[in-house]
Structure 1
Amino acid sequence: MVEKPRAEWSDEDKKKSNLYNVAKDILYKTLDKNMFIKIKTCSTAKEIWEKLTQLCEGNDQTKENKLTVSIQKFVNAKMKPGETMAEFDERFSNIICELIYLGKIYTNREISLKVMRALPRE
């Protein structure tokens, strides 16, 4: 693909270039220093997005490992001694959100039963 000189850009080309720069700017501004260092060599917004996707989501093997770990967290979830219901609810909700993000959906019935089993007898 040959890029046109700026002098030959149409209004549509200028609009696309501006949107492209806005997209890069948004991506740059939302990253912390550590993540920025990992993507600073990328030259396009698409390259940045693909690199971030790979870094955050990983490949299929990484996703499978994350799912396995999240399922184990769900299976082993128990209310800790001294933990309040609010704290347990937040921790358990985070586990459910992880599972949903990774594509594992439990029914409301399964979640309710797990919560009941996770509570201490008293």
Structure 2
Amino acid sequence: MVENPRAEWTNEDKNKANLDNVAKDILYKTMDKNMFSKIKTCSTAKDIWEKLTQLCEGNDQTKENKLAVAIQMFDNAKIKSGETMTEFDERFSNIICELIALGKIYTNREIALKVM
């Protein structure tokens, strides 16, 4: 971000400031009041993005905890009494998607064995 006094900005500084304002505007328009209240003190689009990433994804410890929970859900996945195969498949697919998002990839063989 531009650190010079505004009167000393070059055309490149003005362009960077304009791009930052456009990015902030886009980010502001995509969030609800609750999320906006958490980032309103951020001064640049980069600061907003980093804060949103931290809020939504969490820190490394949070990610590890989410991964541990998702692995446990995978390990304990069984069809419930009265659950249709379609419902189980949807629930199981959501677990697989969560694991992939957290960086844990199972082979097709491992997934097929688990479903069986």
TM-score tier, shorter chain, comes to 0.7 to 0.9
Q: What corresponds to 1:120 in structure 2?
A: none
**Structure 1 residue 2, shift from structure 2 partner:** 3.2
Give the AA of the match of 1:22.
V
* CA shift digits 1:7-50 (9 cap, x unpaired): 7441x434322321221122112222221111111111111111
Gaps of 5+ in 2: none
1:65 maps to 2:65: yes
Q: What corresponds to 2:29 in structure 1?
A: 29
The 2-side partners of 1:61 and 1:16 are apart by: 35
The 1-side partners of 2:87 and 2:42 are apart by: 40
1:64–1:56 distance in 2 versus 1, CA, 3 Å = same
Q: Which 10-residue stretch deviates more, 1-10 or 47-56?
A: 1-10
Give the AA of the match of 1:3.
N
More contact order relative to length (CA 8 Å, sep ≥ 6): 1
Give the AA of the match of 1:107.
T
**Structure 1 residue 73, shift from structure 2 partner:** 0.6
The two structures, once aligned, show a CA RMSD in angstroms of: 1.9
Gaps of 5+ in 1: 117-122
1:84 maps to 2:95: no
Aligned-residue identity in percent: 78
Q: What corresponds to 1:107 in structure 2?
A: 107
The 1-side partners of 2:14 and 2:9 are apart by: 10
Give the AA of the match of 1:56.
C
Superposed structure 1 runs of 4+ greater than 4 Å apart: none
Query: Number of residues paired by the alignment?
Result: 115
**Structure 1 residue 82, shift from structure 2 partner:** 2.5
